[in-house]
Amino acid sequence: MKAYIFESIGRLILKDVAAPVISDSQDDRRAAILRPRYVSPCSSDVHTVFGGSRPRRENMILGHEGLAEVVETGSEVRDFKKGELVAVSAVMPDIPGGTGHEGFPFSGGKLGRNMDGLFAELFKVPDADMNLAKIPEGLSPEAALMSVDVMTTGFSAAEYADIRRDDTVIVMGTGPIGLMAIAAAKRFGAGPVIAMGSEKREECIRLSREYGADMYISYRSGDIIFDNGRVSEKYAPLGKAYEMASAANSLGSPAVSRIFELTGSRGAERILICGGGKRSLMSACDMASYGTGTVVNAAYIEGTENPELPLFSLGKGMAGKTFKFIYCKGGRARIEEMMKIAGKRGESETLDPAPLVTHRLKGFENIPAALEMMREKPAGLIKVMVEI
């Protein structure tokens, strides 16, 4: 069969490889072989192909976001049948013999990372009853496809932040993960949600507002792009907490200054990092409120040099700020939960991730073109879906 393989840095090549088979082994009896039908390359695929950091995954089949048709099942697979279109969990927590995903982000199976992915004519999923998910009737392929990674990652960021009612939440990065984190934070009862992203990406600005952000700040200039008044509603009556010390803005970032100005120097209770880089870690430390601030990093941090920590805003190590580095939750129950949320119509909890798919291509041969689009990110692009 044909498959797209990460050969070396910058090279994704189409190669003939052995098709997966189901043997009579214990593991294979619970496995399934599937044919991808809708796939979406991800920024993390771009990092794998074009990024320089280790460990590298030469000769691995890439791709982890997909809906697929069941082609064959092992004898012990109970819930899925040949011909069924299913959502495939990008992260698989329950591989038999593994340590489980719960509490161990790096112990699960990850398509296209530590096991062959789905940019192939066929691919195999272990423990199919645990890792494939039933698509609710009427749910669009776009919404189902966005649930397997993007939505669960955005939700994971907000869940790990333990958002309390009326907490101010800053979401750094307004790509697909950040947009879902905004929506999740609102669902979990956040107070003002401040999106921090590029001022040039109009689609991200529009969707930030749609998914519930109260304010949008340019991460570069600190300019306010939109504001519905909820931030000043919360902070204006409180006045200044203390004189803003410029030392707390360790990078001299205009966006961080803006947050201090808006919050009376308090910063935000919860910060979700969904994009950026090492500098985002520093700024997040700066912006997290003393005593209660929690920062959750759900972003891939590029590079090999270790970041510094801002000693002043971390109170020389005693600021009472919590930092979490997380990975998305996966598995069948999780993805079915996400699709249930995505599929509710006409209710207050409606959250449709389908608008994240801004571009569509057709055909297996267009997978590299879709990856290239994710790399170049033309204006208006958030996610691209390839129908096979």
63 versus 74: smaller Cβ distance to Zn ion: 63
149 versus 167: smaller Cβ distance to Zn ion: 149
**Residue 90 Cβ vs Zn ion, minimum distance, rounded to whole Å:** 6
Cα dihedral sign, 325-331-335-336? negative
Alpha helices in the chain (DSSP H): 43-50, 128-131, 141-146, 152-160, 176-187, 202-210, 230-235, 254-262, 278-287, 332-343, 367-376
Q: Tokens for 48?
A: 């794998």
65 versus 167: smaller Cβ distance to Zn ion: 65
65 versus 336: smaller Cβ distance to Zn ion: 65
Residues that bind Zn ion (CB under 5 A): 42, 65, 149
**Residue 155 Cβ vs Zn ion, minimum distance, rounded to whole Å:** 14
Task: Give the Cα separation of 372 and 31 in Å (integer).
Answer: 32
42 versus 95: smaller Cβ distance to Zn ion: 42
Task: Give the Cα separation of 88 and 42 in Å (integer).
Answer: 15
Task: Give the Cα separation of 256 and 253 in Å (integer).
Answer: 5
Beta pairing class for 85-88 and 66-73: antiparallel
294 versus 297: smaller Cβ distance to Zn ion: 297
182 versus 256: smaller Cβ distance to Zn ion: 182
Task: Give the Cα separation of 370 and 4 in Å (integer).
Answer: 12
**Residue 21 Cβ vs Zn ion, minimum distance, rounded to whole Å:** 27
Provide the 3-class DSSP secondary structure of residue 289.
coil
113 versus 321: smaller Cβ distance to Zn ion: 113
Cα dihedral sign, 342-280-93-368? positive
**Residue 383 Cβ vs Zn ion, minimum distance, rounded to whole Å:** 9
Nearest 5°: CA angle at 271, between 108 and 359? 65
Closest to 311 measured CA to CA, from 300, 319, 301, 323: 319
**Residue 45 Cβ vs Zn ion, minimum distance, rounded to whole Å:** 7
**Residue 150 Cβ vs Zn ion, minimum distance, rounded to whole Å:** 7
Q: Decide: 227 and 209 in contact? Cβ < 8 Å.
A: no
**Residue 175 Cβ vs Zn ion, minimum distance, rounded to whole Å:** 11
Residue number with the shortest CB distance to Zn ion? 42
Task: Give the Cα separation of 121 and 112 in Å (integer).
Answer: 14
34 versus 299: smaller Cβ distance to Zn ion: 299
One-letter amino acid for residue 46 of the chain:
V
**Residue 47 Cβ vs Zn ion, minimum distance, rounded to whole Å:** 10
DSSP track, 126-173: SSHHHHEEEPPTT--HHHHHHIIIIIHHHHHHHHHTTPPTT--EEEE-
**Residue 73 Cβ vs Zn ion, minimum distance, rounded to whole Å:** 25
Q: Decide: 57 and 117 in contact? Cβ < 8 Å.
A: no
**Residue 328 Cβ vs Zn ion, minimum distance, rounded to whole Å:** 8
Q: Decide: 299 and 274 in contact? Cβ < 8 Å.
A: yes
171 versus 299: smaller Cβ distance to Zn ion: 299
